[in-house]
Every structure is written in C-alpha cells, then in structure tokens.
C-alpha cells in the first residue's frame, strides 16, 4: 500500500506498507534538478512514521547538496526502512523494498547506508534495476570506502594552507576518531604522507591495528577531543562538533569523513570564532557517492572517478578561500555554492 506524504519543497515522498513482508518504508526525493535522485537506504528502529519521515527528508536534502557539490548529474533522495537491522531483516523485506524502489520508475536509485549491507541491496536488486553499490555485475562499483578516504585525504591536503599558511603534512599530528571502513584507509594515507596519528575507536581491534600498522598513539574515545593535535578528523558518527566538544579542540583544522558533523548552525559559527578551519563534510566525503554514481551512470572509466574525486579537493579549496574572504563559516559558503548550482 502506497501513501503519498506531504512535504513542501520535496518532489515526491511516499510511505509504503507491505503486510506480507512487514515492510514499512519511506522514499523521499528532494530534487531531480541535476538528474535522477540517488542516495542510500537506512534501516533503523524509528519509534514512529513521523520520526522516519523527518530523517528521510533531512537525509534526502543532504544528498542533493552532496551530489551537487561533487558535480554529479544526480539529484538527491534517500530511503528509510522502519525496522531493527539486527532483528527484523529478511530477504522478503528487502525484496518488497526493491519493488517499492521500482515503483519510482528510475526517479530514485538506492544503495547502502547505515543498517543496510551489500547483501541486502542485492536482495532488493532482484526486484529493481535502480539499486547500486553491488559487488557483482558489469558496472558493480564495490566498496566505496577507500574512495571516500582518498577524497577526504586530498581535501585535507587542500585545506592545510587555509589553516596553517603552508601545505606540508609532514610532522603534523592528526587526531582521528573512528577506524572503520573509511577511517582506517584515511589513517593509511596520512601515515604515508608523514603525519603522526592519535587515534580512537570503541573497537579495540581496530585501535590495535592502527597502532601496529601506522605507529599511532591511541586515547580513550572520549579523550580524542582533548588531544594536542593540529588536525581533527571525525570518521565515526554525526553531530560530533557541538557545544561540549568544540571548546576542547586544539586543532586548527577539522576534516573528516563523518556525515553531519555539525550539531547545528551554531557549531559552525563556534568553529569560525575559535579560528578553526572547517572543511565541510558533504564536500570532502563525496568520494563514496562518486564511486557509486559510476555504477548508476554505467561508467567504467576509472579516470572519470579519479578526476571527480580530485575535484573535491579543488572545491574544498574554493569554498575555504571564499569563506576566509567573507569571514563566513565554510558550511554556509558550501550551501550557497550548491544553491547557486541548483539555481542555474
Ligand atoms: P564504519 O561503521 O565502518 O566505521 C565507524 C567506526 O567508528 C567504527 O569502527 C566504530 O567502532 C567507530 N565508532 C563508533 N562510535 C564511536 C565513538 N563514540 N568513538 C570512537 N569511535 C567510534 O563506518 P564508515 O563507513 O567508516 O563511515 C564513517 C563515517 O563516514 C560515517 O559517519 C559515515 O556516514 C561517513 N561516510 C562514509 C562513507 C563511506 O564510503 N563508507 C561515505 C560518506 C560518508
């Protein structure tokens, strides 16, 4: 059963309920101005439909900005499934989701996000041709994480001169939070380039690995904000830049992979006031969606991906240059940059 949901400013938002499989899901398409909408599917035990809708809308809009900032011919959309990924997931549920995606007739392409694995998407893909992030098939793009890490690393290099007046990473200390799929690759790039690493994770194995491979020092998860570092790289969860953490930061530059790093607008302003350069999250972490978009757009030329990822660093540089000139917070300048692209 499909129900259209009211969402001003969005092109199409639909709630689907399928009794047989237990599927309860929302697909939100924010904008198709630049192309068909693309964005992952999140599975989470939302307390109610309203909470799921709020998240879907926020995430879908975020994808419009991320895709535009990465100069991809794709719009913004996202889907959520109301279910506990540890308990409720079945092949039937994902197949029903696949049929729901198919009902958008190409207006929206899905992929992995929090709570959804490659296997889940492959289950959905049995019933829709609008699913990406697959490991099998002619255009399969595989794990996006190394590409995301490379984009963050290159953007970090481009941001150095804005924070330090020069672009040497050797000898700089990076406090890195989260050694997961992206964080571990990013640690590798930074180590290779001559940076010292102070890392943290709630997963002791990941920490041990980083200590061994990259001669990293480690601290307890809650102490990462107090580390005497030049650069802070958040690669775990969102809203990590907030009224509690910002006063504790010693770094002059924040550049990491995590989505939605700023708890709110005030956090962006607080960083500016403290003289900390903030490389906007959705600009620097666009490598993953660039990699997935090659699959969506049926592009096999690796150079296309590489160039787009390198371009993220150029965009970061542009945004930070403009932010400095205006004495404005880079996250606002990034939003304006995208708004201008969308207005064209
Ligand atoms: P992941 O789940 O593989 O890694 C996250 C890591 O953070 C895990 O090792 C986890 O143990 C750790 N962690 C969780 N809570 C923590 C805490 N309180 N303190 C320290 N460590 C903690 O996720 P992944 O794929 O590496 O993504 C990291 C971030 O980057 C997420 O915010 C994600 O949304 C974002 N991102 C990821 C992309 C990708 O290609 N994988 C693309 C764009 C954004």
Q: Which of 76, 149, 183, 142 is nearest to 291 (CA)?
A: 142
Specify burial of residue 142 (Cβ count, 10 A radius: 0-12, 13-18, 19+). middle
CB 200 less than 6 A from any atom of ligand 1: yes
Structural element, H or E, at residue 278: strand 277-278
| 165 in a labelled binding site | no
Atom of ligand 1 nearest to the CA of 184: 26
Determine if ligand 1 sits within 6 Å of the CB of residue 236: yes
Pocket of ligand 1 contains residue 182 by CB under 6 Å:
yes
Of 123, 131, 61, the C-alpha closest to 92 is 123
- The best mutation among 118, 182, 258, 305 to test binding of ligand 1, ranked by most ligand atoms within 8 Å of the C-beta, falls on 182
* Cα 237 to middle of ligand 1, angstroms: 6
ipTM of the complex: 0.99
Burial class (CB in 10 A: 0-12, 13-18, 19+), 322: middle
DSSP 25: E
Closest among 216, 219, 224 to 195, alpha carbons compared: 216
Model pLDDT, residue 323: 98
Per the model's pLDDT, the better-predicted residue between 137 and 27 turns out to be 27
| Other Cβ atoms within 10 Å of 305 Cβ, number | 20
Mean pLDDT of all residues in the chain?
97
Catalytic residue among 12, 53, 78, 89: 78
Q: Give helix 265-273 / helix 330-343 axis angle, nearest 10°.
A: 130
Q: For residue 176, what are the β-bridge partners?
A: 199, 233
d(CA 39, CA 67): 9
179 annotated ligand-binding residue: yes
Closest CA to 83 of 120, 126, 28: 120
Neighbours of 161 (CB within 10 A): 15
pLDDT confidence bin for 341, thresholds 50/70/90: very high
Q: Is the pLDDT of residue 94 over 90?
A: yes
Say if residue 344's pLDDT is above 90: no
Annotated binding-site residue? 76? no
Q: Is 181 annotated as a binding residue?
A: yes
Residue 143 has pLDDT above 90, yes or no: no
Compute and round to an integer the Cα radius of gyration of the chain: 20
- Give the rounded percent of residues in the chain with a pLDDT score beyond 70: 100
**Atom 4 of ligand 1 has which residue's CA nearest to it?**
180
List, in order of start, the domains of the chain with CATH numbers: 2-62+75-124 (3.40.50.10860), 145-343 (3.40.50.720)
**pLDDT band at 170, cuts 50/70/90?**
very high
* C-beta of residue 227 within 8 angstroms of C-beta of residue 250: yes
Mean pLDDT, rounded, for 130-153: 94
- Model confidence at 146, pLDDT cuts 50, 70, 90, reads very high
| 213-243: pLDDT as tens digits | 999 999 999 999 999 999 999 999 989 999 9
Question: What's the token pair of residue 305?
Answer: 């991906």
Contacts of 184 (CB under 8 A, 6+ apart): 149, 206, 209, 210
Helices and strands (DSSP H and E) totals, the chain: 11, 13
**149 in Cβ contact with 287 (< 8 Å):** yes
Q: Compute the distance between CA of residue 106 and CA of residue 52 in angstroms, rounded to an integer.
A: 22
Distance CA 2, CA 23 (A): 11
Pocket test for ligand 1, best of 148, 178, 209, 283 (most atoms within 8 A of CB): 178
| C-alpha distances in Å from residue 299, one per residue of 116, 122, 138, 291 | 24, 20, 10, 10
Single out the residue of 102, 83, 103 nearest to residue 93, CA to CA: 83
Q: What is the mean pLDDT of residues 92-105?
A: 98
State yes or no: is 332 an active-site residue.
no
From the list 106, 95, 94, the residue with the least C-alpha distance to 29 is 106
Is residue 114 very low, low, confident or very high in pLDDT (cuts 50, 70, 90)?
confident
Dump pLDDT digits (tens) for 284-324.
999 999 999 999 999 999 999 999 999 999 999 999 999 99
The number of C-alpha atoms within 13 Å of 227 and in the hemisphere containing its C-beta is 27
Cα torsion angle, 47, 50, 53, 55, sign: negative
For the segment 176-182, the average pLDDT, to the nearest whole number, is 95
Segment 79-90 mean pLDDT:
96
Determine whether the shortest distance from the Cβ of 180 to ligand 1 is under 6 A. yes
40 lines ligand 1 (CB under 6 A): no
142 has a pLDDT exceeding 90:
no
Which stretches of 261-301 are DSSP H helices? 265-273, 281-284, 287-296
pLDDT at 36 over 90: yes
């Amino acid at each position: 059963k499909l129900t259209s949901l009211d969402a001003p400013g969005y092109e199409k938002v639909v709630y689907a309920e399928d009794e047989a499989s237990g599927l309860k899901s929302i697909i939100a398409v924010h904008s198709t101005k630049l192309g068909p909408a693309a964005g992952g599917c999140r599975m989470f035990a939302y307390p109610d439909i309203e909470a799921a809708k709020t998240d879907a809308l926020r995430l879908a809009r975020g994808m419009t900005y991320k895709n535009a900032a990465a100069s991809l011919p794709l719009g913004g959309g996202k889907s959520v499934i109301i279910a506990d990924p540890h308990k409720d997931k079945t092949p039937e549920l994902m197949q029903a989701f696949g049929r729901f995606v198919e009902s958008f007739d190409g207006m929206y392409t899905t992929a992995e996000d929090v709570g959804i694995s490659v296997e889940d998407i492959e289950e959905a893909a049995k019933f829709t041709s609008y699913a990406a992030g697959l490991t099998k098939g002619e255009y399969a793009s595989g794990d996006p994480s190394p590409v995301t890490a490379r984009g963050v690393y290159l953007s970090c290099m481009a941001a150095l001169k804005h924070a330090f007046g020069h672009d040497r990473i050797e000898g700089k200390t990076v406090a890195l939070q989260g050694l997961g799929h992206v964080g571990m690759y990013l640690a590798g790039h930074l180590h290779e380039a001559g940076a010292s690493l102070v890392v943290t994770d709630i997963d002791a194995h990941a920490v041990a690995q980083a200590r061994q491979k990259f001669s990293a020092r480690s601290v307890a998860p809650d102490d990462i904000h107090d580390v005497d570092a030049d650069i802070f790289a958040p690669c775990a969860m969102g809203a990590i830049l907030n009224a509690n953490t910002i006063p504790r930061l010693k770094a002059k530059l924040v550049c990491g992979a995590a989505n939605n790093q700023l708890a709110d607008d005030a956090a962006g302003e607080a960083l500016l006031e403290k003289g900390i350069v903030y490389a906007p999250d959705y600009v620097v972490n666009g490598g993953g969606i660039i990699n997935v978009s090659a699959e969506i757009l049926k592009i096999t030329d690796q150079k296309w991906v590489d160039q787009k990822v390198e371009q993220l660093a150029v965009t970061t540089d542009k945004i930070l240059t403009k932010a400095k000139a205006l004495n404005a917070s880079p996250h606002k300048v990034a939003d304006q940059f995208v708004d201008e692209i969308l207005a064209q």
